[in-house]
Chains A and B, each alone.
Chain A
Amino acid sequence: DTEVTQTPKHLVMGMTNKKSLKCEQHMGHRAMYWYKQKAKKPPELMFVYSYEKLSINESVPSRFSPECPNSSLLNLHLHALQPEDSALYLCASSLSGTSGGTYYEQYFGPGTRLTVT
């Protein structure tokens, strides 16, 4: 089973709302990732969790707040977003992170299409 699930599929929120995106995998992967993808562009890395600890934050604004409650679950909490934050948000997981010289392919979820009004 190489499935990463994401909910919701679509989300429309106002600039004053608080919402959360959820990502789940049951492959025993210990690294999980959030990416932001604008139309016709490649995904941009936002956050990396390795063994449930935040290991990379790519200078993402604080209105995005990641959380990794356990090894299977990854959340992205959203608050006071701007219209330019509208994008496809992709979650991915891999067996482990890239430390130690071993690199594993990332498996992606179907994404959440976020629209900020």
Chain B
Amino acid sequence: AQTVTQSQPEMSVQEAETVTLSCTYDTSESDYYLFWYKQPPSRQMILVIRQEAYKQQNATENRFSVNFQKAAKSFSLKISDSQLGDAAMYFCAYNGANNLFFGTGTRLTVIP
């Protein structure tokens, strides 16, 4: 069975600084996708970034980038130039043959 682990229940970052959120997963599948979703207090789950397992290049979306280490089954999210609007719960998610599995989440606080 697939499992997704986020070992940091809470993180904080100063505004304009950089923060990295960790995620590891366990799978025997060779073809899968990985996602980071953001859930602010407004509750809506927003897709931040996606990574296809077959791609070696790390995905980037503006201030958000990932460090995907397939052999280590690691998928961390780096947020650069943090903004107050980045404060939210961040979920790492694995999508393989059996739909989406979420990690337990990391609550990010941005300090002005």
Contact = CB atoms under 8 A, between A and B. Distances in A.
Interface of A: 33, 40-43, 45, 48, 56, 88, 90, 92, 97-98, 101, 103, 105-111, 113
Contacts of A45: 99-100
A48 B99 contact: yes
B95 A103 contact: yes
29 contacts: A33-B99, A40-B89, A41-B104, A42-B103, A43-B91, A43-B102, A48-B99, A90-B45, A98-B95, A98-B96, A98-B98, A98-B99, A101-B97, A103-B32, A103-B95, A105-B33, A105-B47, A106-B47, A106-B95, A106-B100, A107-B47, A108-B44, A108-B45, A108-B46, A110-B42, A110-B43, A110-B44, A111-B43, A113-B43
Contacts of A33: 99
A41 B31 CA distance: 27
B102 A88 contact: no
Nearest to B53: A103
By size class, the interface of chain B is 20 to 34
Contacts of B45: 43, 90, 92, 108
Most A CB within 10 A of own CB, among B37, B45, B50, B102? B45
B95 A109 contact: no
Interface string B94-112: 0111111011110000000
